[in-house]
Amino acid sequence: MNSIYNFSAGPAMIPKDVLKKAQKELKNWNNLGCSVMEISHRTKEFHQVIKEAEEDLRDLLNIPDTYKVLFCQGGARGQFSAIPMNLLGNLSRADYINSGYWSNSAFLESKKYCNSKNILIRKTKNNNIYLLKPSEWNISNISAYIHYCPNETIDGLSLYEEPSFQNKIVVGDFSSFILSRSININKYGLIYAGAQKNIGPSGITIVIIRKDLIGYASKLCPSVFDYNIMHQYNSMFNTPPTFAWYLSGLVFKWLKQQGGIKKIEQLNKKKSDLLYQVIDNSHFYINNIDKKNRSQMNVVFHLFNSELDKIFLQESNKFGLYALKGHFIVGGMRASIYNAMPIEGVKKLAKFMLFFEKKYG
Ligand SMILES: *Cc1c(COP(=O)(O)O)cnc(C)c1O
């Protein structure tokens, strides 16, 4: 069973070494005679877990002291609501940069709370999909914040240029982007990410917020979504998802062992290049996203002959390559190759794609 590679988009694979460590200490964690799931989140032992998790995340992402890290629940979709409820203040307008499925979903949810502006940045030229750069975004001057998504998990689209707007709060849905490359936190008012893509198990959501933006939640904002309450209670206003928190902490330590974000970033480029090369060198696979906007996390591709889709999935499965089916709204295939996917898995997929093309092309 060791030789399977799991390309699931999320919940996604977790580093094998992390799973082994969790398995080893599952029944007797920290010599307490029970698992980490079975102790109070208020114990000093668990306090150490969350302290280290935050320190390691701060190290990895170079998070300045002027930012607070919150560990929330409710997933990224919970944040689709929490963000307008916390950041609108007295304003009734926010700019939503629309690049694909998830940023559009955030836009739709925000309409419950404000008069949000939908700014489409996804364009097509000569049959090539590309995204407008931040300097080309048609931002309004009366918006409370700008929301965007640097990696569209379903569409396989990425925006690598970090938005730089003076006196504007930039909010980013980093669910499938966080920790995949280095970023300059100072450019953002808030970034958030569900853990189940590039961190750990589902159930925990990371929110990194500039401290001066905390404390403006609307009256009706549920307490569990109020950043000020979460801040004051150190992310423990209600019982946190302790196991997911612990496991995310193990992943942060694993990332540091791998050499940190700079190293991971190089590897991620290498991994995705391998697949895009196979696609571009063939007349069998297609990806019509402009090179500068291709996702390094979610490589989406189609077979020219979609009648072969089913066979591709069956045979890849036999090869030990799992969960390559694309999201149903896009179709085709999607290889999610987050940090936890070793380059050997990507090489094996590249090899399989060449083999399959030879056989059926
Ligand atoms: C998966 C995903 C979401 C949804 O996350 P949930 O935790 O299920 O709410 C939102 N945004 C992006 C970019 C995603 O990849």
Q: What is the DSSP code (8-state) at residue 104?
A: H
Boundary-marking domain end, from 257, 273, 293? 257
What's the CATH number where 269 sits?
Answer: 3.90.1150.10
Q: Which tokens go with 36?
A: 């980490």
- Amino acid symbol at 112: K
Cα 29 to middle of ligand 1, angstroms: 31
- Amino acid symbol at 245: W
Question: Is the C-beta atom of 248 inside 6 A of ligand 1?
Answer: no
- What is the number of structural domains in the chain? 2
Q: Which atom of ligand 1 is nearest to the CA of 75?
A: 7
One domain for residues 61 and 186 = yes
CB proximity list for 33: less than 8 A, separation 6 or greater = none
pLDDT surpasses 70 at 134: yes
351 in active site = no
Which DSSP string do the residues of 299-352 spell out, in sequence order?
A: EEEEESSGGGHHHHHHHHHHTTEE--BPPTTT-SEEEE--TTS-HHHHHHHHHH
Question: Is the C-beta atom of 9 inside 6 A of ligand 1?
Answer: no
One domain for residues 293 and 322 = yes
Task: Convert the pLDDT of each residue in 301-336 to its tens digit.
Answer: 999 999 999 999 999 999 999 999 999 999 999 999
42 is in an annotated binding site: yes
What's the CATH number where 234 sits?
Answer: 3.40.640.10
Task: Judge if pTM exceeds 0.95.
Answer: yes
Query: CA separation (Å) from 269 to 192, 222, 248, 278?
Result: 23, 40, 23, 14
- Probe target for ligand 1 pocket from 81, 151, 153, 178, with the most ligand atoms within 8 Å of CB: 153
**Assigned domain for 5 exists:** no
Which DSSP string do the residues of 308-323 spell out, in sequence order?
A: GHHHHHHHHHHTTEE-
Give the integer Cα–Cα distance in Å for 196 and 76.
10
Boundary-marking domain end, from 192, 222, 257? 257
Task: Convert the pLDDT of each residue in 221-237 to its tens digit.
Answer: 999 999 999 999 999 99
Catalytic residue among 56, 155, 173, 226: 173
- Amino acid symbol at 95: D
pLDDT surpasses 90 at 2: no
Nearest-CA residue for atom 5 of ligand 1: 76
Residue in 276, 287, 286, 293 with CA at minimum distance from that of residue 122: 293
Cα 36 to middle of ligand 1, angstroms: 26
Task: Convert the pLDDT of each residue in 141-188 to its tens digit.
Answer: 899 999 999 999 999 999 999 999 988 999 999 999 999 999 999 999
One domain for residues 242 and 326 = no
Which DSSP string do the residues of 244-265 spell out, in sequence order?
A: HHHHHHHHHHHHHHTTHHHHHH
Cα 126 to middle of ligand 1, angstroms: 30
**Assigned domain for 131 exists:** yes
One domain for residues 131 and 211 = yes
Boundary-marking domain end, from 236, 257, 278? 257
Q: Which atom of ligand 1 is nearest to the CA of 177?
A: 13
Question: Is the C-beta atom of 75 inside 6 A of ligand 1?
Answer: yes
153 is in an annotated binding site: yes
Phi, psi of 120 (to 5 degrees): -75, 125
Question: Is the C-beta atom of 221 inside 6 A of ligand 1?
Answer: no
One domain for residues 282 and 239 = no
**Assigned domain for 51 exists:** yes
Give residue 166's pLDDT: 85
Task: Convert the pLDDT of each residue in 75-125 to its tens digit.
Answer: 999 999 999 999 999 999 999 999 999 999 999 999 999 999 999 999 999
173 in active site = yes
Cα 34 to middle of ligand 1, angstroms: 32
- Amino acid symbol at 85: M
Q: What is the mean pLDDT of residues 23-43?
A: 97
Catalytic residue among 68, 117, 197, 348: 197
Mean pLDDT of the chain: 97
196 is in an annotated binding site: yes
Confidence of residue 71 (pLDDT cuts 50, 70, 90): very high
Q: Which atom of ligand 1 is nearest to the CA of 76?
A: 9
Nearest-CA residue for atom 11 of ligand 1: 102
CB proximity list for 54: less than 8 A, separation 6 or greater = 69
178, 338 contact by CB (below 8 A): no
Give residue 3's pLDDT: 79
One domain for residues 306 and 180 = no
- Residues paired with residue 300 on neighbouring β-strands, in sequence order: 334
One domain for residues 196 and 106 = yes
One domain for residues 157 and 243 = yes
What is the domain extent for residue 352? 260-360
One domain for residues 249 and 303 = no
One domain for residues 31 and 171 = yes
Q: Where are the beta strands (DSSP E) in the chain?
A: 5-6, 67-72, 95-98, 117-120, 122-125, 128-131, 146-148, 151-152, 157-158, 170-173, 190-194, 205-210, 285-286, 298-303, 321-322, 333-336
Neighbours of 20 (CB within 10 A): 10
One domain for residues 210 and 336 = no
**Assigned domain for 219 exists:** yes
Q: Which atom of ligand 1 is nearest to the CA of 154?
A: 15
Nearest-CA residue for atom 4 of ligand 1: 76
One domain for residues 269 and 249 = no
**Assigned domain for 8 exists:** no
Query: CA separation (Å) from 318 to 71, 141, 148, 311, 323?
Result: 39, 55, 38, 11, 12
Cα 355 to middle of ligand 1, angstroms: 33
Residue in 358, 97, 79 with CA at minimum distance from that of residue 193: 79
112 in active site = no
325, 250 contact by CB (below 8 A): no
